[in-house]
Amino acid sequence: PEMNCAGYQPDAAVGCTTDEAVLARVEPGLIQSYPTDWCHQKCSRATFDFDLPIHTLAMGMCMVIFLSLPLYANLKEEKVQAEPRLEYLRAFWSQLERKACWQIILYGMVSHITMNIQNVAKPEANYAWLELTTFQQQLMSMLESLSFFVALKLIRRYALNFSWRKMVLIGSGISVLFNCSYYLVVFDILRSSWFYVITDVSESFMYTLNIFVSLACMVEISEEGYESITYALITTSSNVVRPLSNVISFQLLTFFPSLVTQESIATDTFLVRQEFASLQMMVILLNLSSLLSTPLLPRQKKETLDLVALGERSTAWGKFVILSVLVFMMYSTTVTFITVHDHETYGCYKIFGGRGCTEDESSIPALMLVLAGLLYCYGTNFVLTYLPILRGESKLSLAMFT
């Protein structure tokens, strides 16, 4: 709602709502003071006197990006003769056929699908149980960005030669530890908003480790003259799966009806706590399942160079990677456009990551999408990592993950 207040109505000609779900969230003192005109007043919890629609926010971000374009003028390079377009594409396709390239791209997509799944009931619980303020929320966002910067500096200083696989294991393990700490909030043992801010920022710090290793390999696998397009492909492939992760996150709520609204979470009953604990555990297990793809990740620079030196190629897997990236990119672009441009009309549909536009909206399309995404994730990983073990071509060992 506008101004962070339930039921606020900017048009004075429109009467106040009588919806019980909304009235339950309105400040009692506001209704007592303005029994017929309460929805046109500013409540005490309001942060701003104005509303900022999503499309206005998006335009503001575009303007900031546009104003920053002159800064790229300093990135001047000597002019070189450009290759013919078809020859460039053939050379790029030849690079994409290399196992060293498509294996790392697939690792980024497969691992990030499950790694990015979140407990979407947590923001509602934070307001209902912790009374998390807008200030704390924004402070947390800034600290998360700062922690990302600090983590990269520490990696650069102390961990450049540390095993990437071990880095993923450590980052995932500590993230699970901080996720489990939220059970103190769920069962009313320690309900402090500042406790949540600290643990969430610390979890973001560990998450940086998992992001770093997906990008560290590309320096070693890029051929001269194709560095930028290789970087773009690897980073894009890792990012375009995020909308699918959001859809999976929201569809998990289908199995926990008590967590759908902030009002039901605020009742804080035994059933609510039980369902929240189950959802939190399900998210933790899905996040941990991303570790199953760890064998696809080289251990360090030497192993990456050895993989490049082997020169193994596969046209089929190269096509599979291109098709995967294109499909995920089309879905990601569609979701982004709809949720920004037509948010109020179509952004609420479950298949686009919303909670549903109507109470009787079917979850089947979204659940089918979730099933397809998980099948892609675990199926690809199984074929590349575990099917050779079943065939006797390799052995299952702990060393695969370290």
Span 125-158, pLDDT tens digits: 988 898 887 788 888 888 888 888 888 888 888 8
Provide the percentage of residues in the chain whose pLDDT is more than 70: 92
Q: Is the dihedral of CA 248, 254, 255, 258 positive or negative?
A: positive
The answer on pLDDT for 183 being more than 50 is yes
The answer on pLDDT for 94 being more than 80 is yes
Alpha carbons within 13 angstroms on the beta-carbon side of residue 70 total: 3
Q: What angle do CA 253, 257, 259 make, to 5 degrees?
A: 70
Provide the percentage of residues in the chain whose pLDDT is more than 90: 14
The token duo for 384 is: 């590349």
pLDDT in tens, 374-385: 999 999 999 999
Residue 371 near residue 283, CB atoms below 8 Å: no
Q: What is the mean pLDDT of the chain?
A: 83
pLDDT in tens, 8-32: 887 788 888 888 777 877 877 788 8
What pLDDT score does 91 carry? 78
The answer on pLDDT for 372 being more than 80 is yes
What is the arithmetic mean of pLDDT over 237-251? 83
Alpha carbons within 13 angstroms on the beta-carbon side of residue 18 total: 2
Of the candidates 373, 238, 216, the one whose C-alpha atom is nearest the C-alpha of residue 305 is 216
Residue 353 near residue 247, CB atoms below 8 Å: yes
The answer on pLDDT for 285 being more than 60 is yes
Question: Which residues lie closer than 8 Å to 280 by C-beta, 6 or more apart?
Answer: 119, 179, 182, 183, 186
What pLDDT score does 2 carry? 47
What is the arithmetic mean of pLDDT over 347-371? 77
pLDDT in tens, 253-269: 888 888 888 888 888 99
The answer on pLDDT for 227 being more than 50 is yes
The answer on pLDDT for 44 being more than 70 is no
Question: What letter would DSSP give residue 7?
Answer: T
- In one-letter notation, the amino acid at residue 348 is C
pTM value is 0.78
The token duo for 326 is: 């294109």
What pLDDT score does 340 carry? 67
What is the arithmetic mean of pLDDT over 239-247? 83
Instruction: Please report where in the chains the tokens 């930028």 appear, as a residue.
Output: 228
The C-alpha atoms of residue 118 and residue 122 are separated, in whole angstroms, by: 9
Q: Is the dihedral of CA 296, 97, 329, 149 positive or negative?
A: positive
What pLDDT score does 380 carry? 93
Residue 129 near residue 265, CB atoms below 8 Å: yes
Which range is least confidently modeled, 66-80, 159-173, 279-293, 313-327? 66-80
Which range is least confidently modeled, 90-104, 184-198, 219-233, 334-348? 334-348
Q: What angle do CA 224, 226, 228 make, to 5 degrees?
A: 120
Burial class for 32, CB neighbours closer than 10 Å (0-12, 13-18, 19+): exposed
The C-alpha atoms of residue 178 and residue 201 are separated, in whole angstroms, by: 10
What is the arithmetic mean of pLDDT over 344-365? 74
Q: What angle do CA 203, 209, 212 make, to 5 degrees?
A: 135
pLDDT in tens, 193-205: 888 888 887 667 6
What pLDDT score does 343 carry? 65
In 10 A of CB 180, how many CB atoms?
13
The alpha helices in 9-98, defined as continuous H runs, are 20-23, 28-33, 54-68, 85-96
